[in-house]
């Protein structure tokens, strides 16, 4: 049985255009109300983590979703889409067709993300808040999921490609919608910048079987203003030659949805039926069009980060993730912190320090600060941690960079790093993601102190010590909407 858990964040109230209800406003953001198709572009990175080993960047990740939203008689919307993405070499940015597996030392046939359909029914808008709260630039929708359901690749038949009998993953989406467009216009479609963090098992084509570890995707996504013209030329060449149906959004609702796992299974099953080997390594020329991938920081963003102190407000939630158990929203988080940015001269990386005050809030009341916390998993009551925040993160150069997003006249800053305890031995560990959006207009001022930004900070980690859960399998997931 499929298990999909919606995760909700604390929402603040703001004023929006009266002509649209909450769901219609969200559809204006995620798509459009006029039944035409829209392109959601995706650009980010894929990382891997194994127990006791630091986060390692494997690929750049790029592609798009093409879809339409269709209103139904009951007020809900059909979401009809298909999506296509590629994995790029993190140094040359070439599209990978064969990947030299860094763990098995064997070549892997790379399968593109070519999921069709990706459909659903949207009956309610996700929770939302304005950011920054004092001077809104964005209305932020958070749509987050924990997924657990039977693995399409049963270990008995697909042992090399299956991590186990269940597929499990976490998907954390944030839509930063243009507040002025959303609240002051009647346009059927509104600009947004999205933040996306995903944890999953190894991709089946990596042939990692049940080896310990997981993948993390961290990307920005946004609505293209001129259709498919925003798609990279080399991706569009693949679409024109082999995937032409991905030029148009679906017009009818079909089931079931496709995933990288089900698409892979279909190909393997077809090859077995034809008497072919499961994996067919293509012959490729890897010496053409080799360029060095730029992972630098935009000078305007770097100037902004050099200001101290940078004060951010923060608002979010934490959930449990325990194998074969329903996720529980453990507590909400609210507070503020100051961000201190520093370059590391020897290896070209960066250090980010966060100091501040973060309160743990009762999820039922939405405002009561915990003094003593009764753990819904263990039943124990323990003192809530002190509100003081003081953490230090080090980012490698290839995992802390900016992306220019001209469709929304913004710069996106993406950072990923880990603290590297061995979770199989019960050591403390965490994987952390920072995604911030900076409007051009906010960065163009004479002084960076007046600039504004907003985005997401997400953490996957071992249970905090104060929760007394060392004997409980699983981990905690936290997501915070932060803004300046």
Cα 347–chain centre separation: 27
Q: What angle do CA 184, 190, 196 make, to 5 degrees?
A: 130
pLDDT of residue 81: 98
Name residues whose C-beta falls within 8 Å of residue 246's C-beta, 6 or more positions apart in sequence: 66, 82, 84, 114, 116, 239
- Look up residue 143 and give its two tokens: 């749509």
Where b means 16+ CB within 10 Å and e means fewer, 334-354 reads bbebebbbeeeeeeebbebbb
Identify the residue whose tokens are 């080399």: 234
What does pTM read for this prediction? 0.94
Q: What single-letter DSSP state applies at residue 40?
A: E
Rounded-to-integer distance, Cα 84 and Cα 82, Å? 7
pLDDT of residue 426: 63
pLDDT of residue 455: 97
pLDDT of residue 318: 97
pLDDT of residue 286: 55
Rounded-to-integer distance, Cα 404 and Cα 483, Å? 19
pLDDT of residue 347: 79
Mean pLDDT in consecutive groups of 10 residues from the start of the chain, 484 residues:
40 53 98 97 97 94 98 98 97 95 97 98 96 89 95 98 96 96 95 97 98 97 96 97 98 96 98 98 68 80 90 96 94 96 90 96 94 96 93 95 96 95 73 97 78 95 95 96 96
């Amino acid at each position: 049985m499929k298990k999909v858990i919606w995760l909700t964040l604390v929402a603040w109230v703001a004023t929006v255009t009266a002509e649209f209800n909450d769901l219609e406003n969200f559809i204006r953001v995620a798509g459009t109300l006029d039944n035409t198709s829209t392109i959601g572009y995706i650009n980010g990175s894929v990382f891997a983590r194994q127990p006791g080993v630091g986060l390692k960047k494997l690929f750049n990740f790029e592609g798009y979703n093409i879809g339409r939203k269709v209103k139904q008689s009951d007020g809900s919307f059909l979401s009809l889409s298909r999506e296509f993405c590629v994995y790029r070499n993190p140094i040359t940015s070439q599209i990978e067709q064969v990947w030299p597996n860094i763990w098995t030392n064997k070549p892997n046939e790379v399968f593109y993300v070519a999921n069709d359909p990706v459909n659903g029914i949207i009956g309610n808008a996700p929770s939302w808040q304005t950011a920054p709260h004092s001077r809104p630039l964005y209305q932020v929708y958070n749509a987050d999921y924990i997924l657990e359901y039977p693995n399409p690749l049963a270990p008995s038949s697909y042992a090399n490609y299956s991590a186990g009998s269940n597929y499990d993953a976490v998907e954390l989406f944030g839509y930063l919608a243009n507040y002025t467009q959303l609240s002051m216009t009647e346009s059927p479609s509104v600009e947004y910048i999205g933040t996306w963090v995903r944890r999953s098992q190894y991709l089946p084509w990596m042939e990692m079987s049940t080896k310990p570890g997981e993948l993390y995707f961290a990307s920005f996504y946004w609505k293209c203003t001129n259709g498919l013209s925003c798609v990279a030329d080399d991706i569009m060449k693949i679409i024109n030659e082999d995937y032409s149906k991905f030029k148009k959004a679906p017009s009818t609702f079909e089931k079931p949805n496709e995933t990288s796992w089900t698409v892979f299974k279909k190909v393997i099953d077809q090859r077995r039926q034809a008497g072919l080997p499961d994996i067919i390594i293509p012959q490729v020329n890897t010496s053409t069009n080799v360029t060095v991938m730029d992972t630098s920081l935009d000078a305007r963003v770097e100037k902004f980060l050099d200001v101290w102190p940078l004060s951010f407000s923060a608002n979010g939630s934490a959930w449990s993730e325990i194998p074969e158990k329903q996720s529980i929203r453990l507590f909400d988080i609210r507070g503020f912190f100051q961000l201190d940015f520093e370059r590391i001269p020897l290896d070209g990386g960066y250090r980010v320090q966060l100091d501040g005050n973060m309160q743990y809030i009762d999820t039922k009341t939405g405002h009561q600060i915990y003094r003593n916390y009764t753990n819904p998993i263990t039943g124990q009551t323990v003192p809530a941690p002190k509100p003081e925040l003081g953490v230090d993160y080090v980012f490698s150069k290839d995992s802390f960079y900016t992306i220019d997003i001209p469709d929304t006249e913004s710069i996106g800053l993406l950072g990923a790093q880990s603290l590297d305890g061995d979770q199989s031995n019960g050591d403390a560990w965490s994987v952390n993601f920072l995604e911030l959006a900076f409007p051009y207009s906010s960065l163009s001022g004479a002084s960076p102190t007046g600039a504004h930004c907003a985005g997401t900070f997400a953490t996957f980690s071992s249970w905090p010590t104060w929760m007394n859960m060392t004997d409980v399998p699983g981990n905690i997931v936290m997501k915070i909407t932060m803004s300046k």
